[in-house]
């Protein structure tokens, strides 16, 4: 080998130096010269030591060499010269092949000398092999078959993903197709196949195709990685690494097109080696955070990047040239495709599961909507029917009320009960009509402070009359708080008590007693409705009070108890159910008790020795409707209060004259 950094030597000059014994040849076994702008001369001597003439093929196995001049000298034939390389048209090669092949014949004992002049702004390799024609054909067909199988695998995956892209419109498949195609073209550019079969007439494009295709491939890879791993969700802080790969890919594309040279070629090898240090940690981090496709991705691209890194290390002359280094990307990419097929299958399964879940959610929503629509239609029909009944019943109720007033032969108690019941039914009908005519408006009367004892007594009298002829049914009422008051709507309260009593009576399977009790406890009014019927099982008791839940009543709608609970809660109270199967059920209603306002006193006592004060107090007492007894002395006070109740207010002036203090008089009265 001769290093010619100044590009000053020619074949003639070298031959002349050899004749003079001054040619600076040095022996070398290193066929990987790395990146260099220098010119290299190689000399290869081949001697035929066989017993017959031999036909041989010399293969220069690096198709990316930019300039390759080959000179052949032999004892038997005249010298031959070929000027070829990556920058030359493809037909400049003596044999149409992806590598550079030179056929020569060597007679028995003959000697053939090859001189090679090499120049390249990219990696400079010089893999030279001499084959017999038979040996070369066997090896060449095997390599071509392997490359063909590799390309077939990638094209099959591209077609498969293309159909998935058409059916799913998932951008991941688009990114994968772009990556697979550009990478396949890149690999076949590196081995010379594309220049032989796709663009043999375009040497300029062939010269820049490696960095441009590498940039396109890694650009799609960055998009594919970001999308399939969902890095925004699983690795948001590591997206900067993918942006760096995107920037490097764009540099390769535009640098290759507009400023191709040694820098771009070096960066291409560096970029291919550095990318795994970015992408693999991202995929492992996504795997740690639960990405379902990250495991397959990490393995797939781990194998590919391992092969690519070995190839790049060979280009940088870090490792020697060998079979694995030459075809590492093929091996890695083949494993990559197999693993990615599994990743895509996982994604398809996930998509199907998500689709099924979405369809189930839609189905449930549609069913819920249909049920709501049916319920609304049912409620509308009930409301319409109730309004019609309320409208139609008003006239008969009015007539019944008028007739009841004329039933003078009936006892006054019964006549009053009939009139009260008719009035309450009239109020229920009016309330139904108000609700139907203004469904969204506030139609209920506002709560007012009302004594509960009388309201309950009226309902009890009505219920006793209603169930008078039902054998064995008793309705009892006890009250320990006759003056208890609460803030309620009277008609609604009576309707609520009436419905609860009806619930107890209608649930009787045999004679029974319904007991109502009214009491006051700790600032609350307690109404308890208890029966000794069959009771309610615990599992059903837990559901009662909800809308639509009923028990023990034929044709029950489940609205009465729900309405009672919500009404009591609107009044600031609570409704609780308790029951024991076989012993009966109790409904307990608690309401905030409203204390009755204390009436203004009718008589007021004043002790003061000032007549002017007496005059002012008399005017004030008269305005308040109270009687004022004004006293000037303690003796007058003693006489005034002799027969008055103890809660009569007494007002005493502090200074009564003659040293008498009002506080002393007040203390005596208190004691």
Look at residue 409 in the predicted model and tell me its pLDDT.
65
The angle, 0 to 180 degrees and rounded to 10, between the axes of the packed helices 412-437 and 323-405 is 140
- Cα atoms found within 13 Å of the Cα of residue 198, Cβ hemisphere only: 13
* Element of type H or E holding 148: helix 133-168
State both tokens at 654: 């502090």
Q: Which residues of the chain have pLDDT under 70?
A: 30, 76, 315-317, 321-324, 326, 344, 383, 386-417, 419-424, 426-445, 545-560, 596-601
Rounded CA-CA distance 233/449 in Å is: 60
Residue 496 to residues 207, 515, 629, Cα–Cα distance (Å):
95, 16, 51
Q: Give residues with Cβ within 8 angstroms of 96, minimum separation 6.
A: 90, 196
- What stretches of 464-618 adopt beta strand conformation (E)? 473-479, 485-488, 512-521, 524-531, 574-580, 584-592, 603-607
Neighbours of 147 (CB within 10 A): 17
> 287, 295 in Cβ contact below 8 A?
yes
Rounded CA-CA distance 510/400 in Å is: 33
Tell me 252's DSSP state.
Answer: H
- 525, with CB counted inside 10 A (0-12, 13-18, 19+), is buried
State both tokens at 595: 């204390």
Q: Give residues with Cβ within 8 angstroms of 671, minimum separation 6.
A: none
Residue closest to 216 by CA, chosen among 246, 173, 194 = 246
CA-CA-CA-CA torsion for 418, 422, 427, 430, nearest 10 degrees?
A: 180
Residue closest to 111 by CA, chosen among 175, 171, 43, 160 = 43
* Element of type H or E holding 387: helix 323-405
Residue 64 to residues 123, 137, 206, 274, 649, Cα–Cα distance (Å):
8, 22, 9, 22, 120
Look at residue 29 in the predicted model and tell me its pLDDT.
74
Q: Which tens digits make up the pLDDT trace of 436-478?
A: 555 554 455 688 999 999 899 888 888 888 788 788 889 999 9
Q: Give residues with Cβ within 8 angstroms of 177, minimum separation 6.
A: 158, 161, 162, 165
- Concatenate the DSSP letters of all residues of 23-63 into one string: ---------EEEE-SSEEEEEEEEE--SSS-EEEEEEE--T
Could you give the angle at the alpha carbon of 298 between the alpha carbons of 329 and 179, nearest 5°? 55
- Concatenate the DSSP letters of all residues of 315-374 into one string: HTTSS---HHHHHHHHHHHHHHHHHHHHHHHHHHHHHHHHHHHHHHHHHHHHHHHHHHHH
Residue closest to 352 by CA, chosen among 171, 170, 225 = 170
Rounded CA-CA distance 464/479 in Å is: 17
> 518, 484 in Cβ contact below 8 A?
yes
Rounded CA-CA distance 10/69 in Å is: 11
Look at residue 164 in the predicted model and tell me its pLDDT.
81
């Amino acid at each position: 080998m001769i290093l010619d950094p100044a590009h000053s030597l020619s074949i003639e000059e070298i031959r002349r130096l050899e004749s003079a014994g001054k040619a600076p040849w040095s022996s070398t076994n290193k066929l990987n010269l790395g990146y260099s702008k220098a010119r290299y001369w190689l000399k290869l001597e081949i001697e035929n030591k066989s017993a017959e003439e031999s036909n041989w093929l010399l293969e220069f196995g690096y198709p990316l060499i930019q300039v390759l001049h080959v000179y052949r000298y032999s004892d038997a034939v005249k010298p031959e010269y070929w000027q070829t390389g990556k920058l030359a048209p493809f037909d400049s090669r003596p044999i149409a092949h992806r590598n550079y092949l030179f056929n020569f014949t060597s007679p028995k004992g003959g000697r053939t000398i090859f001189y090679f002049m090499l120049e390249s702004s990219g990696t400079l390799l010089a893999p030279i092999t001499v084959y017999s024609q038979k040996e070369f054909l066997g090896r060449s067909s095997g390599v071509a078959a392997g490359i063909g199988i590799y390309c077939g695998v990638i094209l099959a995956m591209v077609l498969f993903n293309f159909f998935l892209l058409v059916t799913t419109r998932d951008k991941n498949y688009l990114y994968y197709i772009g990556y697979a195609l550009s990478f396949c073209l890149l690999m076949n550019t590196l081995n010379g196949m594309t220049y032989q079969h796709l663009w043999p007439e375009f040497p300029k494009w062939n010269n820049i195709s490696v960095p441009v295709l590498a940039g396109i491939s890694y650009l799609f890879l960055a998009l594919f990685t970001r999308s399939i791993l969902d890095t925004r969700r699983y690795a948001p802080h590591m997206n900067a690494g993918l942006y760096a790969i995107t920037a490097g890919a764009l540099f390769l594309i535009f640098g290759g097109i507009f400023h191709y040279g040694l820098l771009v070629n070096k960066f291409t090898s560096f970029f291919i080696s550095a990318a795994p240090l970015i992408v693999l940690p991202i995929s492992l981090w996504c795997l740690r955070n639960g990405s379902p496709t990250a495991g397959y991705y990490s393995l797939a691209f781990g194998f590919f990047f391992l092969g690519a890194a070995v190839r790049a290390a060979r280009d940088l002359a870090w490792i020697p040239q060998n079979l694995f280094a030459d075809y590492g990307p093929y091996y890695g990419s083949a494993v990559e495709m197999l693993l990615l097929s599994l990743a895509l299958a996982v994604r398809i399964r996930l998509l199907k599961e998500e689709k099924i879940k979405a369809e189930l959610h839609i189905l449930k929503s549609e069913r819920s909507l249909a049920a709501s629509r049916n319920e609304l239609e049912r409620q509308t029909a009930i409301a319409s029917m109730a309004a019609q009944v309320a409208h139609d019943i008003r006239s008969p109720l009015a007539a019944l009320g008028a007739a009841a007033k004329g039933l003078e032969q009936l006892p006054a108690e019964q006549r009053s009960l009939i009139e009260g019941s008719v009035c309450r039914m009239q109020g229920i009908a009016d309330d139904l009509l108000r609700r139907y005519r203004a469904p969204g408006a506030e139609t209920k009367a506002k709560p007012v402070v009302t004594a509960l004892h009388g309201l309950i007594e009226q309902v009890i009298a009505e219920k006793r009359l209603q169930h008078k002829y039902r054998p064995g049914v008793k309705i009892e009422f006890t009250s320990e708080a006759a003056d208890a008051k609460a803030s309620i709507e009277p008609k609604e309260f009576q309707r609520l008590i009436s419905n609860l009593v009806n619930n107890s009576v209608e649930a009787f399977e045999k004679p029974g007693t319904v007991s109502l009790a009214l009491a006051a406890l700790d600032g609350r009014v307690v109404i308890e409705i208890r029966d000794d019927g069959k009771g309610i099982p615990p599992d059903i008791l837990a559901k009662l009070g909800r809308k639509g839940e009923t028990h023990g009543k034929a044709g029950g709608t489940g609205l009465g108890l729900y309405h009672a609970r919500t009404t009591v809660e609107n009044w600031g109270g609570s409704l609780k159910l308790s029951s024991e199967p076989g012993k009966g059920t109790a409904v307990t209603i608690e309401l905030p008790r409203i204390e009755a306002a204390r009436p203004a006193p009718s008589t007021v006592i004043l002790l003061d020795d000032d007549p002017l004060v007496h005059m002012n107090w008399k005017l004030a007492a008269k305005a308040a409707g109270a009687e004022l007894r004004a006293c000037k002395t303690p003796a007058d006070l003693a006489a005034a209060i002799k027969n008055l109740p103890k809660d009569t207010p007494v007002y005493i002036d502090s200074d009564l004259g003659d040293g008498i203090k009002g506080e002393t008089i007040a203390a005596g009265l208190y004691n």
